[in-house]
A and B are shown apart, each in its own frame.
Chain A
Amino acid sequence: MTSKKPIWAAALAAAGLVLSACGTTGGESAQPEAGASKACNLEFAFMGPLTGDYANLGINAVNGAKLALDEYNKQNADCQVVLREFDSQGDPEKATPLASELVNDQKIVGLVGPMFSGETNATGEIFNEAKLVTVTPSATNPDLSKNGWDTFHRLLGTDEPQGAAAAKYIKETLAAKKVFVVDDASEYGKFLAGKVEKDLGDLVAGTDTIQQKQTDFGPTVTKVKASGADALWFGGYYAEAGLLAKQLKAGGWKGTFVSGDGVLDPGFIEGAGASAANGSILTCPCAPADASFTEKYKAISGGSDPGTYSTEGFDTMNVFLQAVAEGKATRADMLDWVNNYDAEGVTKQIKFDQSGELSQVTIYAYKVEGGKIMPGTPISGA
């Protein structure tokens, strides 16, 4: 007869599965500190997706940051800096308690991130109240800087100039006569597609909204073909973009596929197949990595090439590290430093205006050729 025993056995089994080792904390990366003068034992935090479905983007940026950190720590072996990683999986719900925890740790004086616009929106108030300076290398929603958060800073252009530049590119460089605009109903995709649609005006021959995680785009392909468009703008991410591009080609559509930074990832080519992806244009407010950066990056990333936002991650960390080199050690000092920063990084001249936006923004266009994403060239924005 089964008795009370199985409860505990089963509960232990269940707990044991999860309890397989002791609990760990937020996870530390980089080397431990050695005591010395100046500002030592300082900690910075990174928040973004390090695991889960969007891990690629977070890993790109954190590796860029680690590259900068590595260089600094080598030069300052007696007084190193620590970067602590907080994995939010890009989810605003997971990010909020992490932010609270992060903010209550007084050793942390600056944040690289958060990566995604959703989580930045959710946690901005927390960082603002705690006066912890944040610089995001990737969140592109323009509304983020309109909340009056003194601590918010963004090291790349928003979707406003990106959309404007993309529309201009389609109109002038591609000289398209009719454009079909598709968005994926996500906050990012919808905004960007809306901006492009507005700027293209009469050129828009039709629109459609797909959903994330969708795999079959039959009706959309039908609509695109029926509209006679010779270019298509897709606002969304690479998973759906790849499938859409593939099905468009299979359906016999011959136009140019154009999209934004959410699609700028090798996953797009994997999903679309090289022949459907070739010829696509992908815009991004992020700068391409040059050869020397790529080489140094590969050493620290275990052989992977730099990806989207790697250079921005690098620059962000450097802004902080330069502050440390100048002897800044408190949260108030860091905030002040970033607010008044004006110097050149690998990506651009970095200077933030009152609301935390860059005063100078460049949009790049990346072309897909031979099954690979080619380095981007700057295109002018509005």
Chain B
Amino acid sequence: MFLFEHFFELTLTGLALGSVYGLVALGYTMVYGVLQLINFAHSEVFMYGTFAVVWTLYVLGGTPTTSTGGVIGMLLASLVIAMVVSGGVALLLERVAYRPLINRNAPKLVALISAIGASFVLAEVIGLRGRIAGALGLDDNIGRFVQRSRDATGMPVEIVPQPVVRIVDYTVTNIDLLVILSALLMMVMVDQYIRRSRLGRGIRAVAQDPESAALMGVNSTRIVQLTFLLGGLMAGAAATLYMIRIGVTRFDAGFILGVKAFTAAVMGGIGNLRGALVGGLVLGVAENWGSALIGTQWKDVVAFCLLVLILLFRPTGLLGESLGKARV
């Protein structure tokens, strides 16, 4: 059967796809773990990261003929800038759309509405950047950045995957390895940070019991900011890996990915950091296997049905909820 003949190709590319889902899912799962809020606008935090990557490369003068060493250097710079930008957008989001509601103890549904509104605004700012630039009279010098605002923006540099090692039916490329290993590394770093550091303990404390944490002297506003920031940093990293793999972004690139990432977070166990990555990887592989078995047009149906099945048999997700529990 096709799936078995190309098992490793489908699985490994699925893992690469899922790694990006997992990194974005980290943002959803952390905010939910601490605040019990679905951060609907996290998808736009990711999307801003992708644009940061592309525009950094433009500014650094990347072209299809840039040397490999030059490209790697530029990508590293883009990674840093993307993480900063995504982190910044996340903090802005927290300040404008969430903090007023958290302070008033508003119902969760209202916070969701605020997040939805923020998501629309953030996406449309990018989607209308041509009109905005025109209105502000800026479009002469920055034409390359604002033209055809609703269409795709591609990478100025060319990233050609190099084969590395052959596993049965598939030659794993350097990009596949980069994406999967980076995601694992980031997840381990965040996990260790949450476990070991003082602020990380603060996050776990607020997730477990906000009132007791406040009594113990934990500044919950700072913690919430930190949570958003961490999620944003991870999204920025995910954005860089996404641009390396896919190479194209749009103002609405965040939307579908955000839904998938949130699905992944729930699959793995909402509030569980490792669960976010596991959920992401499972989702990526499931999509690919679904494509091979039933046809690409049904892959999303497969993914959602898988979600329902997982929740039926393990109502708290694959790895269970844990940010608010005493362990991890």
Residues in A lying within 8 Å of B, measured CB to CB:
52-53, 55-56, 185, 208-211, 213-220, 222-223, 226, 239, 242-243, 246, 250, 267, 270-275
Whole-angstrom distance from the CB of A16 to the nearest CB of chain B?
15
A residues less than 8 Å from B110 (CB atoms): none
* B313 interface residue per 8 A CB criterion: no
Question: By the criterion CB–CB under 8 Å, are A219 and B291 in contact?
Answer: yes
Question: If the complex has contacts A209-B295, A222-B10, are A273 and B256 also in contact, measured as CB distance less than 8 A?
Answer: no
Question: If the complex has contacts A219-B10, A222-B292, A242-B248, are A273 and B297 also in contact, measured as CB distance less than 8 A?
Answer: no
Residue of B nearest to A53 (CB): B150
B residues less than 8 Å from A214 (CB atoms): 296
| Contact among B151, B155, B288 with A273 in the assembled complex (CB-CB below 8 Å) | B155
Interface residues of B, count at CB 8 A: 37
* B6 interface residue per 8 A CB criterion: yes
B residues less than 8 Å from A211 (CB atoms): 296-297, 300
Question: By the criterion CB–CB under 8 Å, are A239 and B152 in contact?
Answer: yes
Question: By the criterion CB–CB under 8 Å, are A226 and B150 in contact?
Answer: no
Question: By the criterion CB–CB under 8 Å, are B296 and A208 in contact?
Answer: yes
* B108 interface residue per 8 A CB criterion: no
Question: By the criterion CB–CB under 8 Å, are A56 and B10 in contact?
Answer: no
Residue of B nearest to A182 (CB): B296
Most buried by A among B64, B154, B250, B252: B154
Question: If the complex has contacts A218-B14, A239-B152, are A275 and B2 also in contact, measured as CB distance less than 8 A?
Answer: no
Most buried by A among B155, B245, B257, B297: B297
Q: Which 7 A-B pairs have the closest CB atoms?
A: A219-B291, A218-B13, A209-B297, A271-B152, A267-B151, A270-B154, A271-B248
Whole-angstrom distance from the CB of A264 to the nearest CB of chain B?
14
Whole-angstrom distance from the CB of A251 to the nearest CB of chain B?
8
B residues less than 8 Å from A274 (CB atoms): 64
Question: By the criterion CB–CB under 8 Å, are B160 and A250 in contact?
Answer: yes
CA gap between A362 and B149 in the complex, in Å: 33
CA gap between A218 and B153 in the complex, in Å: 20
| Contact among A56, A226, A273 with B154 in the assembled complex (CB-CB below 8 Å) | A273
Residue of B nearest to A274 (CB): B64
Whole-angstrom distance from the CB of B31 to the nearest CB of chain A?
24
Question: By the criterion CB–CB under 8 Å, are A218 and B6 in contact?
Answer: no
CA gap between A215 and B239 in the complex, in Å: 14
B residues less than 8 Å from A270 (CB atoms): 148, 151-154, 248
Listed A/B pairs (18) with beta-carbon separation below 8 Å: A208-B295, A211-B300, A213-B252, A213-B256, A216-B17, A217-B296, A218-B10, A218-B291, A219-B299, A220-B291, A222-B10, A223-B2, A242-B248, A250-B160, A270-B153, A270-B248, A273-B155, A273-B158
A residues less than 8 Å from B9 (CB atoms): 222
Question: By the criterion CB–CB under 8 Å, are B64 and A250 in contact?
Answer: no
A residues less than 8 Å from B151 (CB atoms): 56, 239, 267, 270
A residues less than 8 Å from B17 (CB atoms): 216, 218
Residues in B lying within 8 Å of A, measured CB to CB:
2, 5-6, 9-10, 13-14, 17, 64, 148, 150-155, 158, 160-161, 245-248, 250, 252-253, 256-257, 287-288, 291-292, 295-297, 299-300
CA gap between A185 and B298 in the complex, in Å: 11
B residues less than 8 Å from A250 (CB atoms): 160-161
Question: By the criterion CB–CB under 8 Å, are A222 and B246 in contact?
Answer: no
Residue of B nearest to A251 (CB): B161
Question: If the complex has contacts A222-B6, A267-B151, A273-B155, are A210 and B161 also in contact, measured as CB distance less than 8 A?
Answer: no
B residues less than 8 Å from A222 (CB atoms): 6, 9-10, 13, 292
Whole-angstrom distance from the CB of B116 to the nearest CB of chain A?
14
Question: By the criterion CB–CB under 8 Å, are A273 and B6 in contact?
Answer: no
Residue of A nearest to B297 (CB): A209
CA gap between A274 and B250 in the complex, in Å: 18
CA gap between A226 and B161 in the complex, in Å: 19
CA gap between A223 and B292 in the complex, in Å: 8
Question: By the criterion CB–CB under 8 Å, are B292 and A219 in contact?
Answer: yes
CA gap between A222 and B291 in the complex, in Å: 11
B residues less than 8 Å from A243 (CB atoms): 152, 246, 248
CA gap between A222 and B289 in the complex, in Å: 12
A residues less than 8 Å from B13 (CB atoms): 218-219, 222
Question: By the criterion CB–CB under 8 Å, are A210 and B160 in contact?
Answer: no
CA gap between A211 and B303 in the complex, in Å: 14
CA gap between A145 and B125 in the complex, in Å: 40
Whole-angstrom distance from the CB of A277 to the nearest CB of chain B?
10
Question: If the complex has contacts A211-B297, A220-B291, are A273 and B247 also in contact, measured as CB distance less than 8 A?
Answer: yes
Question: By the criterion CB–CB under 8 Å, are A267 and B10 in contact?
Answer: no
CA gap between A111 and B2 in the complex, in Å: 51
Residue of B nearest to A2 (CB): B104
| Contact among B148, B247, B257 with A267 in the assembled complex (CB-CB below 8 Å) | B148
B residues less than 8 Å from A226 (CB atoms): 2, 5-6
CA gap between A273 and B13 in the complex, in Å: 21
Whole-angstrom distance from the CB of B250 to the nearest CB of chain A?
8
Known: A52-B150, A242-B248, A246-B247. 15 other contacts (CB 8 A): A55-B150, A210-B296, A216-B245, A216-B287, A217-B296, A218-B13, A218-B17, A222-B292, A242-B152, A243-B246, A270-B151, A270-B153, A271-B152, A273-B64, A273-B154
B residues less than 8 Å from A209 (CB atoms): 295-297
Question: By the criterion CB–CB under 8 Å, are A220 and B296 in contact?
Answer: yes
Residue of A nearest to B131 (CB): A51
CA gap between A273 and B57 in the complex, in Å: 15
Question: By the criterion CB–CB under 8 Å, are B6 and A215 in contact?
Answer: no
B residues less than 8 Å from A242 (CB atoms): 152, 154, 248
Whole-angstrom distance from the CB of B237 to the nearest CB of chain A?
18
B residues less than 8 Å from A185 (CB atoms): 297
CA gap between A111 and B120 in the complex, in Å: 34
Question: By the criterion CB–CB under 8 Å, are A215 and B248 in contact?
Answer: yes
Question: By the criterion CB–CB under 8 Å, are A210 and B297 in contact?
Answer: yes
A residues less than 8 Å from B10 (CB atoms): 218-219, 222
Whole-angstrom distance from the CB of B137 to the nearest CB of chain A?
15
A residues less than 8 Å from B256 (CB atoms): 213, 215
A residues less than 8 Å from B287 (CB atoms): 216
CA gap between A374 and B288 in the complex, in Å: 36
CA gap between A211 and B150 in the complex, in Å: 19
B residues less than 8 Å from A217 (CB atoms): 296
